[in-house]
């Protein structure tokens, strides 16, 4: 069965960096677009970025361009999100999800940005 497992979240100071990972299993990872979405505490869903199945095409929410970078390793079935210059407002649960319809989601990993 399709499974997505995020990791790498935690407590980081403002201005710091963090790299999230999403491990995929149960499907042919290299055939599917992948995305990152986040949800601040008590708030709605916010799309962050997507990457094409090959990794050659990426796009980002305008508000996050330049600070976040999405990448993937198809051989290892891993999706990544590199986050730099983190701010308090980046505090959220970060989800990875499959395909443009986001048909499967991971359980999420919590990122807390605080001094």
Partner 1 sequence: DIQMTQSPSTLSASVGDRVTITCRASQNINSWLAWYQQRPGKAPNLLIYKASILKSGVPSRFSGSQSGTEFSLTISSLQPDDSATYYCQQYKSDYSFGQGTKLEMK
Contact residues toward partner 1 (CB under 8 A) are: 35, 37, 44-47, 50, 59, 61-62, 95, 100-108
Closer CB to partner 1, 46 or 82, in the complex: 46
Q: Which is nearer to partner 1, 29 or 60 (CB)?
A: 60
* Shortest Cβ 54–partner 1 spacing (Å): 19
**81 pairs with which residues across the strands?**
20, 70
CB of 84 to partner 1, least distance (A): 21
From the CB of 102, what's the least distance to partner 1, in Å? 6
CB 14 within 8 A of CB 113: yes
The residue among 9 and 16 lying less far from partner 1, judged by its C-beta, is 9
Collapse the DSSP code of 50 into the 3-class scheme (helix H, G, I; strand E, B; otherwise coil) and give the result: strand
SS3 20: strand
Instruction: Tell me how long the chain is.
Output: 115
> What is the nearest approach in angstroms of partner 1 to the Cβ of residue 12?
22
Q: Which is nearer to partner 1, 27 or 105 (CB)?
A: 105
- Token pair, residue 108, equals 């999420």
Element (H, E) at 85: none
Cα(32)–Cα(101) distance, integer angstroms? 11
């Amino acid at each position: 069965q399709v499974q997505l497992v995020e990791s790498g979240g935690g407590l980081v100071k403002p201005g710091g960096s963090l790299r999230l990972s999403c491990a995929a299993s149960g499907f042919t990872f290299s055939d599917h677009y992948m995305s990152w979405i986040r949800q601040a505490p008590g708030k709605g869903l916010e799309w962050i970025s997507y990457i094409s199945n090959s990794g050659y095409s990426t796009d980002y929410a305008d508000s996050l361009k330049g600070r976040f970078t999405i990448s993937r390793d198809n051989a290892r079935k891993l999706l990544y999100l590199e986050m730099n210059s983190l701010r308090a407002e980046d505090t959220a649960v970060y989800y990875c999800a499959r395909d443009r319809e986001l048909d499967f989601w991971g359980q999420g990993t919590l990122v807390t940005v605080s001094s």
